[in-house]
Amino acid sequence: MPATLNQTNPAHTTDEQPAWVEAGKAWSRHALDWAYRFESYGNDAIESIFGRLGIGPDTDLLDMACGSGLAATRAARLGATVAGLDASDALINIAQRRTPNADFVVGDMFELPWDGYSFDVVTSFNGIWGGCDAALAEAHRVLRPGGSVGLTFWGRGSNLDMRDWFFALGMSAPSVGEELIATSSIGTPGVVEEMLAITGFTNIERWDVSAILEFADEDDAWKAFRSPGVVAPALDALGENELRSRLMPTVEHLRAADGSYRIVNELTCVTATVRK
């Protein structure tokens, strides 16, 4: 089990570090590129889930695996009282700068440092994946009766402009391929529904939105693409130039005549509630 996303097995540790610490290091490596080049992919999904869940001044909200805090910022602007947790200290620093009044914590989503019944809403945008049942159980524990969870993850439909990119990344190193297969299992219809139902959630709803990535040029796109933690072992295995030469051709057909890119991926949204 690779130590990049490290979300599929909370008990996993490397010889040196707990898995979530390794994950945090991988995600911290190119934190600025994630925050300013990639994170905006979530805009439409955040708006859609927050609208569906009625986020507002009466909401106590926790964003799990909050990254650099785009969702937390949006929730705070809607008047919610916001907390966020992520394994990456570099991403949490950016999140805290953006939303100074929110309660941000560097930590493990499999062991949340909040008491039970602390929140009305728990969200996780591309933070809870296949095999992350224990993180979902933590979300359930900290939610109040009647509270809601909102999740997103990459869909498995045909509307995935980065399909070949994911495939090429998975081929770059065996550990990366194994991790992508394990985590993306959540996109298979029925999987997240079963994870939620087993954990005790009800009223499960699922829909898709578009996640749009736009880059001015190839350098801009590459810096975004190398920023997710899951890419870190591929960078280590192949080096930056070789990995770039394998990944960038997979999106060449999405490049306009002026050299810019517009990349659209289907993002699946799911909401569910805790039984009262």
Ligand X SMILES: C[S@@+](CC[C@H](N)C(=O)[O-])C[C@H]1O[C@@H](n2cnc3c(N)ncnc32)[C@H](O)[C@@H]1O
If binding is defined by CB under 6 A, does position 151 make contact with ligand X? no
Q: How far is CA 83 from CA 96, 119, 181, 183, 267, in A?
A: 10, 9, 30, 25, 24
What torsion do the CA atoms of 140, 7, 55, 205 make, to the nearest 10 degrees? -70
CB atoms within 10 A of CB 187: 19
95-114 residues near ligand X, rule: CB under 6 A:
108-110
Residue for token pair 């495939």: 167
Q: Closer to ligand X at the Cβ: 170 or 228?
A: 228
To the nearest 10 degrees (0 to 180), the angle between helices 89-98 and 70-77 is 20
As measured in angstroms, the least distance from the Cβ of 110 to ligand X is 6
38-67 residues near ligand X, rule: CB under 6 A:
39, 42, 65-67
Which residues make beta-bridge pairs with 239?
A: none
As measured in angstroms, the least distance from the Cβ of 94 to ligand X is 10
Residue 69, phi-psi category: left (phi > 0), alpha (psi -120 to 50), beta (remainder): left
Residues in the chain: 276
Q: Closer to ligand X at the Cβ: 30 or 244?
A: 30
If binding is defined by CB under 6 A, does position 126 make contact with ligand X? yes
As measured in angstroms, the least distance from the Cβ of 257 to ligand X is 30
If binding is defined by CB under 6 A, does position 33 make contact with ligand X? no
If binding is defined by CB under 6 A, does position 127 make contact with ligand X? yes
As measured in angstroms, the least distance from the Cβ of 221 to ligand X is 17
As measured in angstroms, the least distance from the Cβ of 276 to ligand X is 28
Residue 18, phi-psi category: left (phi > 0), alpha (psi -120 to 50), beta (remainder): beta
Question: What 3-state DSSP class applies to 62?
Answer: strand
Q: Closer to ligand X at the Cβ: 6 or 172?
A: 6
Task: Single out the residue of 62, 139, 59 nearest to residue 102, CA to CA.
Answer: 62
The residue sitting closest to ligand X, measured at its beta carbon, is 67
Q: Closer to ligand X at the Cβ: 105 or 255?
A: 105
Residue for token pair 């990119």: 165
If binding is defined by CB under 6 A, does position 27 make contact with ligand X? yes
Q: Closer to ligand X at the Cβ: 93 or 255?
A: 93
Q: Closer to ligand X at the Cβ: 134 or 248?
A: 134
Residues of this chain that bind ligand X (CB under 6 A)? 5-7, 20, 23-24, 27, 39, 42, 65-67, 70, 85-88, 91, 108-110, 125-127, 228-229
